[in-house]
Amino acid sequence: MAEIVNLRNARKTRDRARARAEGDENAVRFGRTKAQKQREKAEADKARAELDALRRERPDE
């Protein structure tokens, strides 16, 4: 004999699984840790400072 399944609960379970999978995919695609964000910002600041140091004319002069 077949098991009786509540279709409402089955749909909710299926939708939760889909949402979780989509969230995990987005986290891999777009997510960065706080340390990664800080490191990238520090690298960008350092590159900007190096370029500014190599300018011949200063913008404030």
Residue 27 lies in a domain: yes
The predicted structure's pLDDT at residue 58:
62
pTM strictly above 0.95 = no
Cα angle for residues 14, 17, 19 (degrees, 5° grid) = 110
Q: Is there a domain that residue 59 lies in?
A: no
Beta-carbon contacts of 40 under 8 Å, excluding residues fewer than 6 positions away, are 32
Residue 21 lies in a domain: yes
- Domains contained in the chain, number: 1
Cβ burial of 8 (10 Å; 0-12, 13-18, 19+) is exposed
Q: Is residue 60 part of a domain?
A: no
What's the confidence (pLDDT) of residue 59? 66
Instruction: Please indicate whether residue 49 or residue 28 has the higher confidence score (pLDDT).
Output: 49
Domain that holds residue 25: 7-53
CA distance 24 to 31: 9
- The answer to whether position 2 is within a domain reads no
- In tens, the pLDDT along 3-44 reads 999 999 999 999 999 999 999 999 888 888 889 989 999 999
In a domain, 1, yes or no: no
Cα–Cα distance, 37 to 46 (Å, whole number):
14
